[in-house]
Amino acid sequence: MAFLDEKTNNIVFNDKDKMSAWDNAPEISDADPKKYRVCMYCQFPMDYSDYVMNVKTKHSKDAWTIDLINIKKPKLVPKNFLAIHANCFGNRQNENEKRRLRKYRRTKWMMPKEGYKKSK
């Protein structure tokens, strides 16, 4: 279970939290949901194998990490975890992104046409 490390002020996530965050991210209809999901903040794909737990750690520009869906009630529970790009961290629109995420999960996402390459 995730916990807040009060020394560093970072949330420490375990493998189960990682899986929950990934499973909460919108699926891409023409890609394997175990491998690719959509980052809600930029709407580009994330690759499951490219994970970083802490955004302050050195990571690739496409790496994904875990954010909280609702920071108004920042509960460290699986349904509040969401996979997003580490580089998109902080790009939320609302303190509570639950409604937006629900809408995005109903949206039909497709992989970019020229294969998976991001322009960030």
Q: Would you tell me how many other CB atoms lie within 10 Å of the CB of residue 74?
A: 12
Minimum distance of Zn ion from residue 85's CB (angstroms): 3
CB of 26 to Zn ion, least distance (A): 12
Q: Candidates 18, 37, 59, 85: give the one binding Zn ion (CB under 5 A).
A: 85
Binding characters for Zn ion, 37-76, by CB under 5 A (x = yes): --x-xx----------------------------------
Options 21, 28, 88, 92; binder of Zn ion; rule CB under 5 A? 88
Query: Cβ neighbours of residue 44 under 8 Å, at least 6 residues apart?
Result: 38, 85, 112, 118, 120
Q: What distances in angstroms separate CA 24 from CA 17, 60, 109, 119, one per listed residue?
A: 11, 22, 15, 24
Q: How far is the CB of 3 from Zn ion (least distance, A)?
A: 26
Terminal alpha carbon distance of the chain? 32
H or E segment to which residue 76 belongs: none
Give whichever of 61 and 102 is closer to Zn ion, judged by the CB atom: 61
List residues binding Zn ion (CB under 5 A): 39, 41-42, 85, 88
